[in-house]
Amino acid sequence: MSETMSPLPRVLVVDDTRFHRELAKDVLADRARVETCSGVAEALVSLDREPAELIFSDLAMPGASGLELLEQVQRRWPATDFILVTANATVDSAVEALRRGATDYLQKPVRAGDLVLALERTLARQKLLSENVRMRDELALYDSCRALATCLEPEDVYAVSLDLFVRGTGLQRGFGVYQRHAIPGSDGVHCRGFSEDDEVRLRDAVGRAKRIDPTRFEEVERLESGPFHELLRDAGIQVGSVISVPVVGDDGEAGALCVVCEEQELPPLALERTRIVAGQAAIALRNSERYRRARDRAFIDDTTEVYNARYLLEALDREIRRAERYGAELSILFLDLDRFKLVNDNHGHLVGSNVLRQVSQLLMQCVRQVDTVARYGGDEFTILLVDTGERLARTIAERIRASIDENAFEAGPEGVLRISASLGIATYPTHGRTREAILDAADKAMYRSKSAGRNQVTSANEL
C-alpha cells in the first residue's frame, strides 16, 4: 500500500503591492499552497476560512499594518508562523516584530532564494516542534502504561488498558470483552464513558450475543461495521466507527477492546497512541499468564494435585468481589472424610495418601470446570461453586456424598476399602459476606453433619 502524500503547507502572502504578491506566489508555488491578499482585512477573512502554516506580511500597508495583523494572528491562530517583510527595516523595528511574536523578518527587495529559505526554515522548525510534542506525548503515554506492570490478573490488564485507550485517543467511550480463563464459556465486560442504562444494556447484549473471537482481529484498526457494531446496535447504542484493539496472550487469555469514535475524524495520532498501549497491554497480559503459571505451581497440593488452602482463600476473595459486583451468588462445600484416621492407622499412610488422591479425582468429576476443588488440610476438602445458590449447592453436595459412599477405593495389595464423607454448605451472601464468615458457616454445617451421624449433607440454613 502506497503512503499518502502529506498535503502542501498553506502560505498566505499579504502585501499591498501586486508585484511582490505575484513574485512570492510564483517562487513558492512548487513548495506550498499560496494565497495572496492585498490587506489585513482580506487576510483575516482568508484565515477564518482556512488557517495557514505561515504568513509573509508587509509591514506598511494602507489601513491596518503588518504589526496589527501579527497581533490578531498571535491571539487567534497562535500556531501560525509570521514573517514580517519591510522596505525600511531597522534594528528597532526588527526587535519589535520579534518581541511581538514574529518568527523572522525579511527586508525588501526580497530575493527569491530568501523566500524559499525562509519557508524551508520555518517548516523545518514546525516539524521539529511537532516531533518534540509527539515524543513528549509518547513518553507520557509510556509512563502511564507503567500502571500495567502492577496488573497480575488478566481482568485487571483489560480494565487498565481500556482506561489508557480511552484517554490516549482523546475519545470518551469504550468497552472491552474478554474471555475469563478461570470460567470457560463466559465473558467479562468492562465499560467506560457509557451511561448506566447503556452499560446495563451492553452487558445484557454481550450475554446474549455469540462470543466475539479476539484472535480474528490481528491489529489495531478502525472499523465501520462488524461484530462490535452489531453488539452496540443490539444494546440500542448507535455509533459511527470504532477502533478495535485485540489483546491476546500466549496461554488462552484473549480480549478485544473497543473505543467508540464520536466524530468521523480521529484526533491526531490516535491510532499510533493506541498501538503503543496495545503493545504494552500484550506484554502485561503475557506477564499475568506467567504469574498465573507460577502461582498455580505454588498453590497445588503435592499429595492430591488439586489446589491447596492458600489458593482457595485467594480464589474465594476474588469470587466474592465478583459476586458482589454483579449481584451473583456463590457457595462453599466443606467436606471431611469420616473416620479417615482409621485408614492411616490400619492401612498405612501410603494407602491413605493414595485414597486422598482418588477422592480428589472423584471430586473433580462431580463439579464443573469453573469450580475450585482444594485440599483444605488433612482429610478435609473445600469446593468453591461459582454462580451457585444454596439449592443447587445441596444437589451437588449430595452427588458428591453419594459418589464417595458408593465408590470402592483401591488400597493396593489389601484390595479395596469403603469410606464416607460429611459435608457442610454455606452460600454468599445469605450466610456471610466475607471469606471468614462463609468458611466458618460451612465448617459449622459440616460438624453438624458429623454430630448427626456422619455421611450427611447439612446447610448453614439448618444451624
pLDDT tens-digit readout, 155-203: 888 889 998 888 888 788 999 888 766 555 556 788 899 998 998 888 8
Residue 108 lies in a domain: yes
**Cβ neighbours around 26 below 10 Å, total:** 12
Average pLDDT over residues 407-431: 92
Q: Tell me if 286 sits within 8 A of 255, measured CB to CB.
A: no
Asked if residue 252 and residue 103 are part of one domain, the reply reads no
What is the CATH classification number for the domain harbouring 233?
3.30.450.40
State the number of CA atoms in the 13 A half-sphere of 325 facing the CB.
Answer: 10
Residue 341: Cβ within 10 Å count: 12
pLDDT over 90 at 252, yes or no: no
pLDDT at residue 376 above 70? yes
> 185 or 297: which carries more pLDDT confidence?
297
Angle at 447 between CA 442 and CA 451, to 5 degrees: 150
End of a domain among 94, 120, 140?
A: 140
Query: Is 240 found in the same domain as 160?
Result: yes
- Is 304 in the same domain as 278? no
Q: Is the pLDDT of residue 295 over 80?
A: no
Q: Is 264 part of any domain?
A: yes
Q: Which set of grid coordinates corresponds to residue 252? A: 488462552
Q: Which three cell numbers stand for residue 449?
A: 453433619
Contact present, 170 and 270 (Cβ < 8 Å): yes
Domain-located, residue 5: no
Q: Is 91 inside any structural domain?
A: yes
281 with 178, same domain? yes
pLDDT value, residue 436: 95
pLDDT value for 6: 59
- Report the C-alpha gap between 125 and 82 in whole angstroms: 13
- Whether 194 and 275 share a structural domain: yes
Rounded distance between C-alpha atoms, residue 358 and residue 410, angstroms = 8
Q: Which three cell numbers stand for residue 105?
A: 523578518
| Mean pLDDT of the region 254-264 | 80
Cα 439 to Cα 49, 168, 263, 310, 445: the distances in Å are: 71, 44, 52, 13, 10
Considering the domain architecture, whether residues 157 and 129 belong to the same structural domain is answered as no
Mean pLDDT rounded to a whole number for the chain: 87
Between the CA of residue 320 and those of 155, 244, 252, 309, 433, what are the distances in Å? Answer: 15, 31, 24, 16, 8
Is 50 a domain residue?
Answer: yes
From 269, 292, 315, give the residue that closes a domain: 292
Q: State the CATH number of the domain containing residue 66.
A: 3.40.50.2300
Domain span including residue 253: 151-292
pLDDT of residue 4 exceeding 50, the answer is: no
pLDDT tops 50 at residue 101: yes
Please give the model's pTM, rounded to 2 decimal places. 0.52
Residue 116 vs residues 25, 111, 119: alpha-carbon distances, Å:
11, 9, 5
Give the dihedral of Cα atoms 244, 250, 251, 256; nearest 10 deg. 0
Mean pLDDT of 236-260: 85
Q: Are residues 379 and 397 in the same domain?
A: yes
| CATH code for the domain of 368 | 3.30.70.270
Q: Give the C-alpha distances (Å, rounded to integers) separating 446 from 184, 287, 367, 456.
A: 30, 40, 19, 9
**pLDDT score recorded for residue 334:** 97
Q: Are residues 159 and 129 in the same domain?
A: no
- Please state the domain count of the chain: 3
Look at residue 16 and tell me whether its pLDDT is greater than 50. Answer: yes
- Helix locations, 254-348, DSSP H: 270-298, 309-326, 340-347
Look at residue 242 in the predicted model and tell me its pLDDT.
Answer: 87
| Residue 74: inside a domain | yes
